[in-house]
Chain A
Amino acid sequence: MLHSIAGAAGPAAGASVYARILLLSTGVALGCWSIMRLRERHLLISISAFFIATGLGLVLFAAFPDPFDRLSFLLGIHYPPILYLICVVLVLMALIVHLGSQLSRLDRRCVRLVQEQAMQSARIEVLERERRAGSAAKLGLVEKESVA
């Protein structure tokens, strides 16, 4: 039956029915997974938005593969999979650049936190020492007064 559907779609459809089913299920799974993770607050909104958009893109591509092929021919690319590859590479590069900048920002924040935490601990240590020295001095004064 799948073969007959594939035949009905014809060669213009570009992707085989198996590939379309795979893309459709991957897209749905990615979207569902992102929403679940977002609900549990295990994924940032911006990252889950990216995954949901990717999932939606996969679903749309599985449902309507023709426009993409036409776009490919319009751009002068006569073998559509090359356009898919270019798109994937561009999206991955954008993702790497975005994650790289996020990582650098996070690293800078972590360094700041580490520095502040270390200095606060040192400050507490100094205050504790001063307090201990202060109470020892006070105790000495009390002892002197009682002797007097």
Chain B
Amino acid sequence: MPADCTFAVIPAFNEDRCVGDVIRRVRQFLPSAHIVLVDDASTDSTAQTARSAGASVIRLPVNSGYGVALQTGLIWAYRNGAQTVVTLDADGQHEPAEIPALLHPLSAGEADLSLGSRYLNHGARYHVPFLRLLGSRLFARIASRLIGQPVTDPTTGFQAMNRKVLDLYANLREFPEQTPDADLIVYANLRRCRIVEVPVIMHADQGEGSMHGAIKSAAYVPKMLISILSVLAAGARKQAA
């Protein structure tokens, strides 16, 4: 295992067009980090592309969802002694040049979890679909109210965490399988982790068609509400224990 205890965890599903560039750019900003790509049973050559770009690949045998892929990468990092973990998407939406800014609050000891926000300061620099924006705003309000500090982008997958948060997430039995967003922020806060938001630049993602996207966005709201209730219950149970 590498001497540097920083890991970059990248969950991916059918991203062979972008993943090579993403890994090379991450390597540019984290030269000695261990880059782990979790391939969620892609049907294209995502795994091979990632391997040839220099990442370690964990390949899930069946398509299991974003949350399962993400937690697999976090468990791997945790078991291999990671002290700091950066998570980002494989579709090129998250700008690797922002990684140092994201890591800064952790290295300065100001936070345990650093969230990259596309809305902080200047707002998103691309067109965000209306339903997605609505869902994001709704859960930003809920998360802000629950954790007692403003959160502008609760759906961000561009995050950096230290060992304390990594321990929580890697060992969370109720880790959300599909939507690890506001629910995990609430959980981290409930377990007394310090959270900060860092303004980052994000690019437009190559999402699905509008109809599929609309159905997903509509289904996201009840799923996330139930997931928040579930992590609140898990957090309360662990606090009681």
Query: Which A residues lie at the B interface, using CB under 8 A?
Result: 108, 111, 114-115, 117-119, 121-122, 125-126
Q: Identify which of A111, A117, A121 contacts B68 (C-beta below 8 A).
A: A111
Q: Is the CB of A122 within 8 A of B58?
A: yes
Q: Is the CB of A115 within 8 A of B59?
A: no
Which one of B69-77, B161-169, B193-201 is at the interface? B69-77
B207 within 8 A of A: no
Q: Is the CB of A118 within 8 A of B177?
A: no
Q: Identify which of B56, B61, B79, B173 contacts A114 (C-beta below 8 A).
A: B61
How long is the Cα–Cα vector from A111 to B61 in the complex, in angstroms?
Answer: 10
Q: Identify which of A108, A117, A119 contacts B75 (C-beta below 8 A).
A: A119
How long is the Cα–Cα vector from A108 to B75 in the complex, in angstroms?
Answer: 16
How long is the Cα–Cα vector from A117 to B79 in the complex, in angstroms?
Answer: 15
How long is the Cα–Cα vector from A108 to B72 in the complex, in angstroms?
Answer: 13
> Mind listing 25 A-B residue pairs with CB under 8 Å?
A111-B64, A114-B61, A114-B62, A114-B64, A114-B68, A115-B68, A115-B71, A115-B72, A115-B75, A118-B38, A118-B58, A118-B60, A118-B72, A119-B58, A119-B75, A119-B76, A119-B79, A121-B58, A121-B59, A122-B56, A122-B57, A122-B58, A122-B59, A122-B76, A126-B56
How long is the Cα–Cα vector from A108 to B173 in the complex, in angstroms?
Answer: 8
Which 9 pairs of residues, A with B, have the shortest CB-CB distance? A122-B58, A115-B72, A118-B60, A118-B58, A111-B68, A114-B64, A114-B60, A119-B76, A117-B61
Question: With a CB–CB cut-off of 8 A, which chain B residues contact A125?
Answer: 57
Question: With a CB–CB cut-off of 8 A, which chain B residues contact A122?
Answer: 56-59, 76
Question: With a CB–CB cut-off of 8 A, which chain B residues contact A111?
Answer: 64, 68, 177
One digit per residue, 1 when the CB lies within 8 angstroms of any chain A CB and 0 when it does not, for chain B 118-135 equals 000000000000000000
**How distant is B71 from chain A, measured CB to nearest CB, in Å?**
7
Question: With a CB–CB cut-off of 8 A, which chain A residues contact B62?
Answer: 114
